[in-house]
């Protein structure tokens, strides 16, 4: 045996083994392992705004592959992984980008990828080029390998795929009472008129407002909600299997738990 302290300052001779812990402690560790949320930005070349795809993953996923004992007893990790794979596809956009080509391209790629089996980077590349030739310039900053990975979901076959779009508003919205509503209308009109029969898969697209400061929130609640929301909620069933509506406000708590970047237990 080597003298204590020759290999490390603590005098340990052997690495600590996770399986040496009592099973009850290991189960607690599985419960406390966090998921990690990241924002992946896709820029539109027509302006300075962007579309962000929100992804969540388990950084501790490799732990399941360590040995059969851990894989079998880490039920909590399996449940977390299954839940992550069936979560809605979450996108974040500036309010000016609601009807922009970047968001349109991402939605069409998602619809085709999940419904038509067009799930390889090369096939997404073809969809993307076709979309951009019709709706606007290409998205140069994100490779199609990455886009393919970001859009991957294990949605049940035949089920409607839910996409939630968080729309960011600023003080500038208060300076003009119409722009946000007009962008929403253009987005709904695009869903109604731009789809070829049988081309896209089924999507349930929900536009939601991101948390903003109290003053802007009060304005939007008092004006846009009273003036337009009831009418906007009626605009759905357009296109071929697509649906779009204005959803509920994203609360601060939900933003932290589901949308914001960082580790979540």
Between CA 88 and CA 121 the distance in angstroms is 21
Is pLDDT of 231 > 70?
no
Please provide the average confidence, as pLDDT, over all residues in the chain: 71
* Residue 163 within any structural domain of the chain: yes
Three-class SS of residue 158? coil
Specify if 142 maps to a domain. Answer: yes
Burial 33-56 (b: 16+ CB within 10 A, else e): bebebeeeebbbeeeebbbbbbbb
Element housing 41 (H / E) = strand 35-43
Task: Considering only residues 82 and 9, tell me which one the structure prediction assigns the higher pLDDT.
Answer: 82
Alpha carbon 43 to its chain centroid, in Å, reads 16
In the prediction, which pLDDT does 236 show? Answer: 43
Which residues, in sequence order, are CB contacts of 39 under 8 Å at separation 6+?
52, 53, 54, 92, 261
Within-domain flag for 69: no
State the pLDDT confidence band at 99, using cuts at 50, 70 and 90: confident
Nearest Cα neighbor of 185 from 137, 222, 242, 238 is 238
Instruction: Identify which of 107, 92, 88 has the alpha carbon closest to the alpha carbon of residue 187.
Output: 107
Is pLDDT above 70 for 223? Answer: no
Query: Is position 246 within any domain?
Result: yes
Query: Containing H/E element for 81?
Result: helix 75-85
Task: Give the tens place of pLDDT for each residue, 38-50.
Answer: 888 875 555 556 7
Residue 253 reports pLDDT greater than 80: yes
63-88 mean pLDDT: 86
Contact criterion met (CB below 8 Å) for 27 and 255: no
Look at residue 133 and tell me if it is in a domain: yes
Range(s) of the domain holding residue 224:
37-57+88-264
Q: What is the pTM of this model?
A: 0.75
Q: Is residue 42 part of a domain?
A: yes
Q: Which of 135-149, 180-194, 196-210 has the lowest mean pLDDT?
A: 135-149
Q: Is residue 102 part of a domain?
A: yes
- How many domains is the chain partitioned into structurally? 1
Question: 95 falls in which pLDDT band (50, 70, 90)?
Answer: confident
17 pLDDT tier (thresholds 50, 70, 90): confident
pLDDT bracket for residue 246 (50, 70, 90): confident
Q: Is the pLDDT of residue 167 over 80?
A: yes
Query: How many CB atoms within 10 Å of residue 3?
Result: 8
Asked if residue 203 is part of any domain, the answer here is yes
Check residue 239 and give its pLDDT: 45
Give the distance from CA 93 to its chain's centroid. 11
| Closest by CA position to 55, among listed 75, 76, 41, 74 | 41
- Least confident window among 72-76, 127-131, 138-142, 258-262: 138-142
149: which 2 tokens?
């990975």
């Amino acid at each position: 045996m080597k003298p204590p302290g020759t290999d490390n300052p603590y005098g340990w001779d052997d690495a600590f083994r996770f399986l040496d812990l009592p099973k009850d402690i290991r189960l607690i560790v599985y419960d406390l392992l966090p998921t990690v949320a990241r924002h992946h930005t896709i820029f539109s070349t027509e302006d300075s705004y962007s579309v962000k795809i929100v992804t969540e993953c388990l950084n501790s996923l490799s732990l399941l592959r360590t040995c059969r004992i851990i894989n079998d007893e880490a039920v909590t990790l399996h449940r977390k992984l299954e839940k992550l794979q069936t979560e809605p596809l979450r996108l974040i956009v500036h309010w000016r980008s609601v009807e922009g080509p970047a968001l349109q391209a991402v939605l069409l790629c998602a619809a085709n990828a999940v419904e038509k089996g067009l799930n390889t980077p090369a096939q997404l590349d073809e969809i993307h080029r076709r979309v951009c030739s019709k709706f606007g310039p290409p998205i140069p900053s994100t490779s199609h390998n990455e886009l393919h990975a970001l859009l991957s979901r294990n949605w049940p076959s035949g089920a409607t795929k839910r996409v939630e779009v968080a729309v960011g508003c600023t003080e500038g919205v208060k300076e003009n009472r119409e722009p946000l509503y007009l962008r929403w209308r253009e987005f709904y009109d695009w869903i109604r008129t731009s789809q070829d029969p049988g081309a896209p898969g089924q999507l349930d697209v929900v536009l939601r407002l991101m948390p903003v400061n109290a003053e802007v929130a009060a304005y939007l609640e008092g004006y846009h909600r009273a003036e337009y929301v009831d009418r906007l909620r009626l605009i759905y069933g357009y296109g071929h299997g697509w649906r779009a509506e204005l959803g509920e406000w994203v609360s601060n708590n939900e933003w932290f738990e589901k949308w914001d970047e960082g580790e979540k237990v």
